[in-house]
Structures are given as structure tokens and as C-alpha cells.
Structure 1
């Protein structure tokens, strides 16, 4: 209970305030959209830029760590997609969107602050190593699978260009890419610029969590409950279980092990809904998974943190 109160609930208090403000129309939908555009389009890309630019890649970018997390992530994608098609009788395009829900954990808005509150800021270096690959990997998998499902006679050689165009128009990936360039080249950041970026970074997670609550307030859980619960079981139970099993085999450090399990245990992120909406596929399932998964993760994350403790 102390873990729940001290670590997880403060994060969900911020989400809850955003939810309440949107539900009560204290902030209009356009205002919530503005907050999300600020956080997702500016503040969080800058947070990622700074974190990746200063990350010790040799020490923290461990292929064992990345492999552990993304083996579980990709496994959940495949199971979710195949189950959606064969078990729940969805067409392949819907199935890809449902698989993407199980693929895309909320590594940034939930995994990062919960890891920091539970284990301290020094424990989040592994989180940033995971996050650096997260959007590029997930969108590459999801977009490639969706474009293949949609191809239906279109020449296959057009698929790589569509995938790359979609990936590198994402502001999060732009921030990560610029951070890697600065890291690898050693380009200095002027002090005055760095201090200005610091101010934006401090606003990134609170504004994003508040905005996430406002966005969730628009959703409503309706229909498709077997599909929703199955998909959430992949995100909240199977993915962290795979991360735990593989992490023990890979001899990860304590901080790496904690980061990979906590991040894997997070509910589907808002990007799961954005991906479904981008293609107009399984949007009701995606919205319901984000809403219900975020609520359920209050309990499931507490369980995983208790096991890690």
C-alpha cells in the first residue's frame, strides 16, 4: 500500500486532474488539444533530446536490455494481431491495429515517472535507452504490418518509403534523432539555450500527464470487451512477465532490470489510439484499452513494484 500511495498515485492524481478538468469543461477540448500539442510536439521531444544527448551510450545502451524489452513487446504484438484475426474474427487491418495496442507500452508518460518515483532519478538511465528506440521500433513494426495488410495489389517496393515518411514525421523521433546526433558528434549546446530547454523539460511530464487525463475523458468503454481484456492482459501481464524471465537470464543490472519490468508493465499509451485513428481501424478497442488499461495499471503496477522491491 505504501508503494501505491507514494509512487503511483501522485502520477495518477495529475492524470485525474486533467480528466476532471475536461469532464467538467473547466478546460475546453481545444485547450486540452493545445496542452497535448505543447507536450507531445515540443516539451517531450526536448526532454528526449536532452536525455539522449547526454546519455552515456556505451554504459547505458545495452543490447541485452533493449533485446529483453522488445522481445516481449514484439511477442505481444504478434499474439495480439493473430488472436484478433483468428480468435476474435477481425480483418487483418483491424488485427494490426489491435496488435499495435499490445506493442506500445506507455513508456514515457507512465513508465518514466513511476520508475523515477520508485527508485530515484539515477535509475531512469535504462528507461531512456528503451525510450530512444521505442517510437521508431513500434511505428516501424506497426506501419510496415499495416501497409502490408493494406497493400492489396499495390507494388511492395512503395512500402519502405511510406514507413520511413511516417516515422520521421513524428516529433518524438525527431527529438531522439537530434539527441543522438549531438551525443555522437559531441556538439556543444550553448549554456543559455540549455537553460531555456531545461525550463521546457520541467513542464514536459506534468503537462503531458494532465493532457493525457483530458484526452482519456473523451473516451468511453463500450463493446468488444473480450478483445479489450485479452489485449490488456498482454500489456499488463504477459509483457512484464517476459521481461522478468528474460531479464533474469540476461544478467541485467538492478536498475536495468527494474526499468525494463516497470516499463513493460505499463498500460498502452495514447499512441496506440493515435495509430488506430491514423488508419481508422479498431479505434473503439484502442480508446477503451487506453482508458481501462490506465485505470487498471494503478493496481497492476503496484503489484509489479512490490515484486521488484
Structure 2
């Protein structure tokens, strides 16, 4: 148990440091702008490129794994969407609630935690899950918002916007470049390689610190009733579902299944709040979902890591 705590506590310690510093320093949320830019456009793309460029090509075409993980995410999203729609009869609110239950913090927390927990073999499943889960969310959200009437753009403009979000996202670009480098055996010059390595090492600390600061500047003012369902679905049911689906989808190395479960068990991504703010719907409750799932994930992630690292998951 001590080894698991030694693994988890530094991560949540960085989030707490960001939270604590933001509370005592009282900088506005906009002050995080350049740090978030560095994380999203430079540090995390460098990490993804570094991982994928050194990966054997055969490991990047595990379609059973990709379909199993993406289908599990979609099932969680669809289930929460229809539960919310049965209560609200609003597609836009139901979409954000579905994202809160299905869209984990796979960009900020996922890569570093999975690699630290399971070693270098976890890097490939992390990258595959990130790439295809984000594509799923980037396609579903604008489509459903357009259906709800919240997004007034023309269909062609909407389609181009979706494609831009997918293929213009720095993480997706880094993934494509990394896969290309792996296929063609391209190695950057030594100086560039060292710079990529420095940036990749900065990704996790900066991302977790920024996440903590963001949570501090968006306090939980009340507990929406939806959280009583979203929190257990996100932190407990989704990893169990992905475990079952992957065991039916094929035979994969245990590290891949554990990594997929860990990625599924991560708290709600801060992107859900950003999307809610973009469309002006369910904004405060989206912020509450991010904060609540992050707080409860301290216990649930510790539990999942203990079970997986002590061979208690069959």
C-alpha cells in the first residue's frame, strides 16, 4: 500500500500545490493563459511525439483495443446522455452531462500517471486512447449542439470546424508526427531530441499544477444532484465497463488493460468546463463535476492502482 501512496500522492500533491498557490496569490484565472498554452501547444505534444516515435509500428495498429476503448467511452456517454435527457428534455445540457461522465483527464493526468505506474509499455495504449477518445468527443459535441439548436452554424461550416478541431489539435498533430517518425524510422538531431526530452519532462508537473490552480479559481459553491450519479459512473463504473469490454474484444497484455482502466478512472477533464462555457450551458455544474471527481479520485485512483499493482484484477 505504501508503494501505491508513494505513486499517487506526488500527483495529487502537485494539484494541491497549484490549488494552494492560487488561493494565497489571488491571481485571476486569465493569468494561467500562457502556462496552459505551454502545456497544450508545447509540453504535452512533445511527450506524445517522444513516446510514439520510439514505438514499434505493430503496436500502433491494435484495432480491437482501439474499438473496445472507444466503444466503452461512447457507452458511458450515451447512457448518461439519455438519463439526463429523460429528466431535462434538453439535448445541450444532456451532452455536457454525458461528457462529465465519460471525458476523463486523459491529457493532463493520464500519460505521466500511467507511465509511472506501469512503465514504458503503457505509453502506446495511453496515446491510442487519447487520440481516439478525443476524436469521439470532438465529433459528438458539435453535432449534438447543432441538433439542439445551440450551435447555429451551417452544416458545411460545422463539418469544417469539427475537422479543424480534430486535425488542428496539437496533441493529434504530435500523434500523427510521432507515428510517421516511427513508420519511417526518423530520428531528430541530437539537439532537437534533447529539447523534446526537456519539454516532455515538464509536461506532467506543469499540467497538474495548472489543474490545481484552475480548481482553486472555480470553487464548488453547491453540489448539483447530478453529481451523485456522475461521480460513481466516472470513477468506478467506467473502468469496470472498459475492463469487461476489452476482455471480450480480444487478448491484450495486462499492462494495456490496466492502462485503459486507469485512463477510464481519471476525473472529469477540465475541457468539459471549457466546452460548457463555449456553448453557455451547464457551466457552473460542469465546473463542480471537475472539482468533485478530482477530489474523490484521490481515493478511487489509489484503490484501482492498489488492485492492479498487487495482481488483484484478474
TM-score strictly above 0.5: yes
Q: Note the 1:202-281 alignment, pairs <5 A.
A: 202-223=201-222, 225-249=224-248, 250-281=250-281
1:225 is paired with a residue of what secondary structure? coil
Cα-to-partner distance string for 1:16-68 (whole Å, 9 max, x where unaligned): 10110101117654443322221122111221222223222312441222222
Going from structure 1 to structure 2, the CA distance change for 1:181 and 1:157 (only over 3 Å counts) comes to same
Decide which moves more: 156-165 or 26-35. Answer: 26-35
Q: In 2, are the aligned partners of 1:126 and 1:259 still within 8 Å (CA)? A: yes
Q: In 2, are the aligned partners of 1:73 and 1:102 still within 8 Å (CA)? A: no
Query: Normalising to structure 2: TM-score of the pair?
Result: 0.89
Going from structure 1 to structure 2, the CA distance change for 1:154 and 1:196 (only over 3 Å counts) comes to closer
Q: In 1, are the aligned partners of 2:142 and 2:158 still within 8 Å (CA)? A: no
Cα distance in 2 between the residues matched to 1:188 and 1:20:
41
Going from structure 1 to structure 2, the CA distance change for 1:25 and 1:3 (only over 3 Å counts) comes to same
Cα distance in 2 between the residues matched to 1:122 and 1:216:
31
2:161 is paired with a residue of what secondary structure? helix
Q: Note the 1:14-29 alignment, pairs <5 A.
A: 14-25=14-25, 29=29
Cα distance in 1 between the residues matched to 2:208 and 2:223:
27
What is the root-mean-square deviation of aligned Cα atoms in Å?
A: 2.3
The corresponding residue for 1:198 is: 197
- 1:8 and 2:44 equivalent? no
Cα-to-partner distance string for 1:162-193 (whole Å, 9 max, x where unaligned): 31133334322232233233334444422211
Cα distance in 1 between the residues matched to 2:54 and 2:149:
40
Going from structure 1 to structure 2, the CA distance change for 1:153 and 1:2 (only over 3 Å counts) comes to closer
Please list every run of 5 or more consecutive structure 1 residues that lacks an aligned counterpart in the other structure: none
Q: In 1, are the aligned partners of 2:150 and 2:279 still within 8 Å (CA)? A: no
Going from structure 1 to structure 2, the CA distance change for 1:175 and 1:93 (only over 3 Å counts) comes to same
Cα-to-partner distance string for 1:258-292 (whole Å, 9 max, x where unaligned): 11111111111111112212212211121111111
Q: In 2, are the aligned partners of 1:112 and 1:127 still within 8 Å (CA)? A: yes
Q: Note the 1:63-78 alignment, pairs <5 A.
A: 63-78=63-78
Cα-to-partner distance string for 1:89-135 (whole Å, 9 max, x where unaligned): 15211111221222211123223232233222333332222223232
Cα distance in 1 between the residues matched to 2:21 and 2:36:
14
Q: In 2, are the aligned partners of 1:51 and 1:179 still within 8 Å (CA)? A: yes
Please list every run of 5 or more consecutive structure 2 residues that lacks an aligned counterpart in the other structure: none
Question: How far is 1:152 from its partner?
Answer: 8.3
Cα distance in 2 between the residues matched to 1:49 and 1:90:
42
2:107 is paired with a residue of what secondary structure? helix
Q: In 1, are the aligned partners of 2:23 and 2:216 still within 8 Å (CA)? A: yes
Cα distance in 2 between the residues matched to 1:180 and 1:146:
32
Q: In 2, are the aligned partners of 1:16 and 1:213 still within 8 Å (CA)? A: yes
Cα distance in 2 between the residues matched to 1:260 and 1:63:
14
The number of equivalent residue pairs is 308
Going from structure 1 to structure 2, the CA distance change for 1:282 and 1:13 (only over 3 Å counts) comes to same
Q: Note the 1:162-201 alignment, pairs <5 A.
A: 162-201=161-200
The corresponding residue for 1:108 is: 107
The corresponding residue for 1:138 is: 137
- 1:298 and 2:295 equivalent? no
1:267 is paired with a residue of what secondary structure? coil
Going from structure 1 to structure 2, the CA distance change for 1:55 and 1:221 (only over 3 Å counts) comes to same
Decide which moves more: 292-301 or 96-105. Answer: 96-105
Q: In 2, are the aligned partners of 1:76 and 1:103 still within 8 Å (CA)? A: yes
